[in-house]
């Protein structure tokens, strides 16, 4: 049984930092792309970053490029998202997800991911 558990969310002031972690089990990490997504209130879920297993490449949405950084530890089956210089528009529920097929480089398409965590709330406010 595949499980993904996100942690590290909370309240942070604008300009501050937060580190999210996604711990996976029930699958072999070497074969799967993993992505981070977020869903703001009243908005659709959007992809913000991902890491590809085929070449260890990474992708970032323009809205977070230069501020967020994704990292992966295969031995621990974890994927972290370091969030720096956060803004109020970064508020939302953050999810990690796994692409079961992973036949190409990762991307932001929600439908490409099969297994999802329960999410962790991030609130950016002063």
Residue 74: the pLDDT is 94
Q: Which of 93, 82, 80, 91 is nearest to 14 (CA)?
A: 91
The partner residues of 37 in beta bridges, in order of sequence, read: 47, 95
Going by pLDDT thresholds of 50, 70 and 90, the confidence category of residue 102 is confident
- Mean pLDDT score, 62-70: 98
Average model confidence (pLDDT) across the chain: 96
The stretch 55-81 carries a mean pLDDT of: 96
List C-alpha distances in Å: 110 to 34, 71, 76. 11, 20, 25
What's the pLDDT tens digit per position in 22-50? 999 999 888 999 999 999 999 999 999 99
Q: How does DSSP classify residue 68?
A: E
pLDDT at residue number 114: 96
Side-chain half-sphere CA neighbours of 32 within 13 A? 24
- For position 25, what pLDDT does the model report? 95
Closest by CA to 11, choosing from 88, 96, 116, is: 88
Confidence of residue 17 (pLDDT cuts 50, 70, 90): very high
Q: Which two tokens stand for residue 4?
A: 């993904």
């Amino acid at each position: 049984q595949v499980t993904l558990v996100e942690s590290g969310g909370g309240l942070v002031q604008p300009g501050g930092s937060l580190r999210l972690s996604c711990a996976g089990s029930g699958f072999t990490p070497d074969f799967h792309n993993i992505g981070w997504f977020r869903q703001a209130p009243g908005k659709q879920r959007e992809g913000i970053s991902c890491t590809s297993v085929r070449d260890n490449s990474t992708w970032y949405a323009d809205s977070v490029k230069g501020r967020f950084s994704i990292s992966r530890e295969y031995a621990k089956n974890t994927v972290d998202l370091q969030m720096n210089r956060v803004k109020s528009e970064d508020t939302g529920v953050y999810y990690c997800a796994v692409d079961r097929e992973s036949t190409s480089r990762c991307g932001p398409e929600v439908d490409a991911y099969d297994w999802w965590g329960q999410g962790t709330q991030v609130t950016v406010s002063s």
